[in-house]
Each structure stands twice: as C-alpha cells, then as structure tokens.
Amino acid sequence: MTFDVIAETISNKTFRFKCPFCYSKYKKDGTPYKRSKRIYHTHGSNGELYNRVEHRMAHCYGNKEYTTDFNIHITDNTKRI
C-alpha cells in the first residue's frame, strides 16, 4: 500500500522523512523498545529543491506489512538544507 508523508528536509542530493512505522531499536521478538525513537528514511534526490511529490519504494525493512512504497511530499514545510 502506498503511504503519503511530508519530507522534513531536502538537500541537492537527498531528502528525508520521519517514518510513521519504523523504530530505532527492536527486541528479538520484533516489538520496539519503549525508549526507541522513530527513524528517518533518506532517499536520493534529483538536485532540484522545488515543491513536488516523489515516489519511492519503502525502506521499512522491519515493517513490510504496513507499506510497500511512499509518496513523499516536498512542500513549503520541507526545510531546504
């Protein structure tokens, strides 16, 4: 299933967003630790900084049941870095 997210930052080479599914640390049984945090996924960009939607396959390797791919929205709220 495709999931829509907003990119938090974008540079000439990459953009990234905070994943609504993935945590930084998991126990052996696959559940996240209480103190673990949401992680960011970084994807390659095309060198342009304008607002747009980029489609990418998910990097949610531990959470494949939730999403297969993302529409990543680069908006006025996306910080240019």
Amino acid at 28: K
User: Residues 4 to 63: which contact Zn ion by CB under 5 A?
Assistant: 19, 21-22, 60
Greatest alpha-carbon pair distance for the chain in Å reads: 42
The CB-of-28 to Zn ion minimum distance in angstroms stands at: 19
- As measured in angstroms, the least distance from the Cβ of 50 to Zn ion is 25
Task: Compute how many residues bind Zn ion; rule: CB under 5 A.
Answer: 4
**CB crowding 12-29: b at 16 or more within 10 Å, else e:** eeebbbebebbbeeeeee
Q: Give the interface with Zn ion as residue ranges (CB under 5 A).
A: 19, 21-22, 60
